[in-house]
Amino acid sequence: MLIPGLALPLVACSGPDVPPPDDVAHALAEALAAVDVSGLPLDVGESVSPQTQLSQVVEPLLDASGERKHAVSVADVGDVTTTEGGGAEATATLAWSWAVTPTATWEYSTDVDLTYVPPAGTAAAEEDGAEPGQWQVVWQPDLIVPDLAPGERLEVERLEPDRADILDGAGDPMVTARDVWHIGVDKTAVEGLGEESAARELAVLVGREPNVFFDIVQAAGDKAFVEAITIRKKNSGVDFTVDEALDIIGVAAIPDTLELAPTSDFAAPIVGRAGEATAEVIEASGGDVKQGDVVGLSGIQQSYEDQLAGDRGVVVRVLPPGADDDGEEVREVFRVDPVDGTPVATTLDVGMQKHAEKVLSDVDPASAIVAVRPSSGEVLAAASGPGSEGWSTATLGQYPPGSTFKVVDGLAFQRAGLGPDSKVECSPTITVDGREFSNVPGYPSSALGTVPLRTAFAHSCNTAMIAQREKVAQKDLTAAAAALGLTDDEDVAAGVGVPAFLGSVPAKAGATEHAASLIGQGKVQASPLGMATVAASVVAGEPVRPVLVRETEGAGDGGDAEGEEPSESPEASDGAETVEGGVTADEAAVLRDLMHGVVTDGSADLLQGVPGVVGAKTGTAQYGDGSRQHVWMLAIQDDLAVAVFVEDGDYGSTTAGPIMKDFLTGL
């Protein structure tokens, strides 16, 4: 029969004249693209609903919202052939394109027959239900998909790639697939009071609030598995065993693998975690991410999601009628194999990172240890203590660096003509525009008066530094800081490979603010990473640009299916690049000498027993009402530069110093 719809404009004709079929062909393409053929003039040869058939066939190709991008266009309209009674026939070719995954497009063409119904009064126009004087679409399922037969439908299967590892500095897997147990209540095994007992007993065992967990279990479906906790099969870090959980009637343990770091808290703010996609992630993906998909949720796992996840594949099959019942063979019409993710290569030293985290494990305030290899700029450890509460104090903290900034002073002073043996005046106090500055409490009286710069540096004399404010302008401090890698340059920060802040030193300042800058306070800001970079530049004899994530070949397209070996970045292979105005080898040698004096004769003498030639600089920066201090220590040892920071402590020498000693001696 013929299904009349919204008729196309009628074209007047007489005798054998037949209008071209192009309009109906283009109208068909637009209707198919909109998945709505209800307004088309259709010639239906069988008892089917074209709209229902179209919707059922393409439904698997659409995402959950029905918005999967696809296009249908007219590729060609063939010659018109006249038929008896004034009718005509033609064949149009349609070009289809389906974006079945974000990286895979299924393109094909189909042919569709068109028939022309002549004007009223002709024999052909008198057929039952015919709309005279227009072209009709001969509806067949193979105009949707080539060779599609009546009753057949499509099946679309996503082919998941393997998520890639995050590698350590040696190129070994650091975050990789590790065996885990999902432990929870199996509601098919218990009911009623047994369900409540299982929920409450398991909650107590794993450390969850029993009432809250029971409410969750109770609200779940009758056949649900309600997870209470996921633990590693090895080094679980919990104080109970799987067997103890399974002794509870109604509790089950489901084996699985998850991408995990060596320990649950290993570099957690930096590495981040991957897990089941949240509702927000699913919504933001536009249908590309489905419930149950594993995605990066924070840190490197999230920032490098595309690289780690790889490219999903897809296979489209045609299912014959009853395929679900009799297992009749299906045919594959389109396939794109998945491309496994490409590893992200970091510079972290697993042993050193673990050691740093252990050293900080009992530090209550926010804290950090950052270790950098000066010869390459590689960040070997970037640990944030438990007091940081998940924040990467190591790479993102913004604090006044206190007297550790005197390393920057030391460079600026050299450029102003002051050397280690130049005489400076270290007075108990100094007043600038009415504001009095003093030295740290307990400053040795033997280091007061007219002393060599090296003595003032070793004991961290504030007044001697401030007294040079006429020789060293604020802009000179800014330049010296940048020369040592302490910069707010966005390109340098981006080169780290993870969100990072290095430092900020204003180029302009009033008199008292300039005085405060000379002792690393006022508006001077730095992160532990930034100050470790300063120390690294002193060792390297040139500005170091820190790097924590190396560039990886194939990262732009997901890499090779088997995974790519990480390529060395310029920072990792060639050291720091030449920076105009950067610290020179001769200048750095003087700074190393000054820092060594802090250990042999100054405020970091507790490091004298540490092996190797060690240099250091302590720092204390008052904050709030002036009664509390941020405390710092920098240290250099061979090809290693380290910054220790504690957000709230006594002094750099007494709070940060012992942490630094534990870290260096424990290596």
Residue 328: predicted pLDDT: 62
Do 2-151 and 350-402+477-506+525-666 have matching folds? no
Question: What are 597-608's pLDDT values in tens digits?
Answer: 999 999 999 999
Instruction: Please tell me the CATH superfamily of domain 350-402+477-506+525-666, with its number.
Output: DD-peptidase/beta-lactamase superfamily (3.40.710.10)
| Nearest partner of 159 among 401, 422, 336, judged by Cα | 336
Please name the residues in contact with 185: beta carbons below 8 A apart, sequence gap of 6 or more. 195, 198, 199, 202, 217, 225, 226, 228, 250, 251, 252
Give me 608's structure tokens.
């004298």
Low-confidence residues of the chain, pLDDT below 50? 1-15, 125-129, 556-576
Q: Which CATH class is domain 166-336?
A: alpha beta
Residue 74: predicted pLDDT: 97
Give me 56's structure tokens.
């059922």
| Nearest partner of 657 among 429, 484, 403, judged by Cα | 403
Q: pTM of the prediction?
A: 0.84
Please name the residues in contact with 656: beta carbons below 8 A apart, sequence gap of 6 or more. 618, 619, 631, 632, 633, 644, 645, 646, 649
* Strand pairing report for 251-260 and 173-186: antiparallel
What residue spans of 467-576 are helical by DSSP H? Answer: 474-483, 490-494, 511-517, 528-540, 570-574
Q: How far apart are CA 133 and CA 7, in angstroms?
A: 10
In sequence order, what DSSP letters do the residues of 72-83 get, joined into one string?
A: EEEEEE---EE-
In sequence order, what DSSP letters do the residues of 328-382 get, joined into one string?
A: PPPEEEEEE--BPPPPEEE---HHHHHHHHHHHTT--S-EEEEEEETTTTEEEEE
Classify domain 2-151 by CATH number.
3.10.450
Please report, for the chain, the start and end positions of each structural domain, with discontinuous segments joined by +: 2-151, 166-336, 350-402+477-506+525-666
| Nearest partner of 457 among 609, 616, 582, judged by Cα | 616
Residue 567: predicted pLDDT: 39
Residue 656: predicted pLDDT: 98
The 10 Å CB-count burial string (b at 16+, else e) for 39-72 is ebbbbbeeeeebbebbeebbebbbeeeeebebeb
Please name the residues in contact with 19: beta carbons below 8 A apart, sequence gap of 6 or more. 11, 13, 116, 135
